[in-house]
């Protein structure tokens, strides 16, 4: 079995159950239903639960049959879906080969031996539709259990070599992704463009090193309703109206952190698809995030490394388990361990994440923390998450790279992150720090320049940007002549940075703005 103690602990998502459902419809665009990737459990709480998968799980009837949650070892205590530290989640997607489109359906989970607060919607599936399922958990380890051969029927994968992944599992995902990818290559399924974030950089994906942590691409965006008596129901308009006072239950998820918290802060929009359980509504989902990232994420692209705690076997690298996980999230299997090097992953993480955190500090320090008992802002939440990933209890990047963690978090007496220093520069953390250690990123006429250092075209000229950390100024030098007709140089123009105001035409003005 997978050793859950080897994984880092999470903080409780109990705060999430304080949000009433009627408010959800009004506040969903402004409220972050995310819990951190670090978790603690109440003393004696059983974190190892089993999910009983109904028969024919890829059929309409199987999708509409509630999954049942039960303790893997009852001697360790019960498991309850209404408990935010034990709750499990299922996310389903359907690819229609006739139209090339994707729909989402999230099956319901109830406690074993109980009934749902409202009967699940029976989805209308397209002919020859390809259904896949992904599982997440707020507990430590989630084990799938068959009903009349349901795991074989659904082509379900819970782990490899006799060990489970931990919080994650999937059914039929490789077949779904293969069909969807063919449709993308044929132009029949088109992932929406990422767009440009408020910082002038591309909107992030789940494979962006500015987003990932020690176990990327895990858990789902599914949410359920929980009634006062502990029963659950699918999240849809009909149930919200019928179950007054019900609370929301969500999965601590990298996917949710991206789709709700980060996209909301940066002015980005996640890829969404129709919800078959809630007609007329669109929802984000793990498979949409992965397909979009596979198509549009620029290099370096983050993919699950060997050191990810979910793919270890007795704390040792396991290539088969790594590849089994990757297949479930549309990532390329590797032939050898070097192709999934944790050290390389750490190097890209160190190069990318601190700079983006610093660039976005002015934005994220003004956004609420996904968990107020962990951090006092989105900025400090991301900072403590990075530290947990970089240090010895995470991917151990500091030792692998032989360098200190570039991020230092300040906490109060209660352990809440209140500030963060990045590469020696105070990032703000909601306490007014300016951030002078890491260069800002610039946007020149809409072109993002990382670290305000690089080359861009301004008024047809090649211009070099250089950031002086001592003076906190950006110097723009434009002097290269561009070839004209016949390869002859064009007359040299006065560099825009040296022009006098009366020489500059309004439509020639370069707009160079730091984006942090």
Tokens of 32: 């972050």
Specify whether 192 is located in the same domain as 90.
yes
My answer on whether 256 and 176 are in the same domain is yes
Determine the pLDDT at residue 95: 99
Residues 189 and 308 in one domain: yes
Q: What is the pTM of this model?
A: 0.78
Decide: 285 and 136 in contact? Cβ < 8 Å. no
CA distance 402 to 404: 7
Q: What's the CA gap between 347 and 360, in Å, rounded?
A: 20
Question: In the structure, what pLDDT confidence band is assigned to residue 475 with cuts at 50, 70 and 90?
Answer: confident
Q: Are residues 79 and 196 in the same domain?
A: yes
DSSP run (H or E) holding 157: strand 156-157
Q: Is the pLDDT of residue 22 over 60?
A: no
Domain end residue (candidates: 377, 395, 426): 426
Q: Which of 329, 358, 392 is the last residue of a domain?
A: 329
Domain boundary among 373, 394, 426: 426
* Residues 178, 115 within the same domain: yes
Q: Over the stretch 182-224, which tens digit does the pLDDT of each residue have?
A: 999 999 999 999 999 999 999 999 999 999 999 999 999 999 9
Residues 195 and 271 grouped into a single domain: yes
Distance of CA 326 to the CA centre of its chain: 15
Is residue 337 one of the residues assigned to a domain? no
What pLDDT, on a 0 to 100 scale, did the predictor assign at position 479? 63
The 10 Å Cβ neighbour count of residue 334 is 18
CB-based burial label for 179 (10 Å; 0-12, 13-18, 19+): buried
Mean per-residue pLDDT over the chain, rounded: 84
In a domain, 434, yes or no: no
Q: What is the pLDDT of residue 435?
A: 39
What is the helix (H) or strand (E) element at residue 425, kind and residue range? Answer: strand 425-426
Write the pLDDT tens digit of every residue in 306-353. Answer: 999 999 999 999 999 999 999 999 999 999 999 999 999 999 999 999
Do 409 and 493 share a structural domain?
no
Whether the pLDDT of residue 504 is over 90: the answer is no
Q: Is there a domain that residue 433 lies in?
A: no
Mean local confidence (pLDDT), 257-275: 96
135 contacts 53 by C-beta, under 8 angstroms: no
Is residue 232 within 8 A of residue 108, CB to CB? The reply is yes
The radius of gyration computed from the CA coordinates of the chain, to the nearest angstrom, equals: 24
Number of domains in the chain: 3
First and final C-alpha spacing in the chain:
45
Query: In 10 A of CB 33, how many CB atoms?
Result: 23
Q: Does residue 339 form part of some domain? A: no
**Has residue 464 been placed in a domain?**
yes
φ, ψ (nearest 5 deg) of residue 164: -85, 165
Count of beta carbons in the 10 Å neighbourhood of residue 280: 8
Q: Which residues contact 101 (CB under 8 A, 6 or more apart)?
A: 95, 189, 273
If one compares 320 and 372, the residue with the highest pLDDT of the two is 320
Tokens of 88: 């499990």
pLDDT in tens, 36-77: 333 434 557 999 999 999 999 999 999 999 999 999 999 999
- Domain identity same for 413 and 285: no
Residues 483 and 362 in one domain: no
Give every CB contact of residue 488 below 8 A, 6+ residues apart in sequence.
none
Highest mean pLDDT among 24-28, 276-280, 452-456: 276-280
CA gap 442, 474 in Å, rounded: 9
Angle made by CA atoms 79, 216, 63, in degrees to the nearest 5? 50
Short-list 449, 217, 220, CA closest to 345: 217
Q: How far is CA 300 from the centre of its chain?
A: 16
Cα 169 vs. chain centroid, distance in angstroms?
17
Host domain of residue 64: 4-33+46-329
Which pLDDT score, from 0 to 100, does residue 445 have? 67
At 29 the pLDDT is 32
State the residue for tokens 């260069």. Answer: 439
- Tokens coding 440: 């800002």
More confident residue, 477 or 84: 84
Instruction: Please tell me whether residue 319 adopts helix, strand or coil conformation.
Output: helix
Per-residue pLDDT reduced to its tens digit, 100-128:
999 999 999 999 999 999 999 999 999 99
pLDDT (0 to 100) of residue 44: 79
Query: Please, how many CA atoms are within 13 Å of residue 317, restricted to the half-sphere of its CB?
Result: 14
Would you state the structure tokens that stand for residue 220, as one six-digit string? 């789902």
Q: Phi then psi for 68, rounded to 5 degrees? A: -120, 130
Please tell me the distance from the alpha carbon of residue 298 to that of residue 377, in angstroms, as a whole number.
Answer: 28
Specify the pLDDT at position 461. Answer: 75
Q: Are residues 144 and 278 in the same domain?
A: yes
Closest CA to 347 of 305, 284, 293, 376: 305
440 band by pLDDT with thresholds 50, 70 and 90: low
User: Does residue 168 carry a pLDDT above 70?
Assistant: yes
In this structure, are 289 and 163 located in the same domain?
yes
Query: Is it the case that residue 129 has pLDDT exceeding 70?
Result: yes
- 109 and 141 in a single domain? The answer is yes
Indicate whether 40 belongs to any domain. Answer: no
Q: Show the CA angle centred on residue 187, arms to residues 184 and 191, nearest 5°.
A: 50
């Amino acid at each position: 079995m997978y050793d859950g103690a080897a994984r880092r602990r999470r903080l409780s998502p109990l705060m999430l159950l304080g949000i009433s459902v009627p408010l959800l419809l009004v506040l969903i665009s402004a409220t972050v239903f995310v819990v951190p990737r670090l978790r603690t459990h109440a003393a004696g709480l059983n974190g190892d639960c089993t999910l009983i998968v109904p028969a024919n799980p890829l059929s309409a009837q199987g999708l509409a049959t509630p999954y049942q949650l039960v303790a893997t070892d009852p001697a360790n205590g019960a498991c309850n879906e209404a408990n935010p530290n034990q709750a499990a989640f299922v996310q389903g997607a359907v690819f229609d080969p006739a139209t090339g489109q994707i729909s989402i359906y999230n099956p319901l989970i109830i406690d074993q031996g109980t009934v749902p607060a409202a009967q699940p919607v029976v989805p209308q599936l397209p002919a020859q539709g390809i259904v896949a399922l992904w599982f997440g958990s707020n507990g430590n380890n989630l084990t799938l259990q068959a009903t009349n051969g349901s795991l074989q029927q659904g082509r379900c994968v819970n782990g490899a070599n006799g060990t489970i992944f931990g919080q994650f599992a999937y059914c039929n995902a490789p077949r779904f992704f293969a069909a969807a990818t063919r449709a993308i290559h044929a132009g029949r399924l088109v992932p929406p463009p990422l767009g440009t974030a408020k910082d002038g950089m591309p909107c992030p994906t789940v494979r962006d090193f500015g987003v990932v942590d020690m176990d990327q691409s895990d858990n789902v965006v599914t949410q359920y309703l929980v009634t006062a008596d502990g029963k659950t129901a699918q999240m849809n308009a009909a149930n919200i109206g019928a179950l007054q006072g019900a609370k929301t239950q969500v999965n601590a998820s990298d996917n949710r952190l991206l789709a709700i918290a980060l996209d909301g802060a940066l002015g980005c929009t996640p890829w969404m698809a129709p919800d078959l359980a809630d007609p007329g509504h669109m929802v984000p989902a793990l498979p949409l995030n992965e397909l979009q990232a596979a198509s549009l994420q620029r290099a370096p692209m983050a993919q699950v490394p060997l050191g990810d705690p979910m793919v270890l076997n007795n704390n040792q690298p396991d290539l088969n388990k790594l590849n089994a996980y990757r297949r479930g999230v549309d990532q390329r299997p590797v032939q050898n361990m070097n192709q999934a090097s944790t050290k390389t992953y750490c190097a890209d993480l160190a190069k990318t994440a601190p700079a983006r955190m610093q660039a976005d500090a002015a934005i994220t320090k003004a956004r609420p923390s996904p968990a107020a008992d962990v951090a006092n802002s989105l900025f400090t939440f991301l900072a403590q998450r990075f530290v947990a990933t970089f240090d010895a209890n995470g991917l151990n990047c500091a030792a692998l790279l032989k360098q200190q963690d570039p991020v230092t978090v300040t906490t109060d007496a209660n352990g809440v992150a209140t500030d963060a220093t990045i590469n020696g520069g105070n990032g703000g953390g909601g306490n007014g720090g300016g951030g002078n250690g890491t260069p800002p990123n610039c946007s020149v006429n809409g072109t993002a320049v990382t670290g305000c250092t690089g080359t861009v075209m301004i008024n047809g000229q090649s211009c070099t940007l250089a950031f002086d950390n001592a003076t906190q100024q950006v110097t723009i030098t434009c002097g290269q002549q561009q070839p004209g007709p016949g390869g002859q140089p064009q007359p040299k123009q006065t560099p825009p940075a040296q022009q006098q105001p009366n020489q500059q035409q309004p439509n020639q003005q370069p707009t160079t703005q730091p984006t942090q």
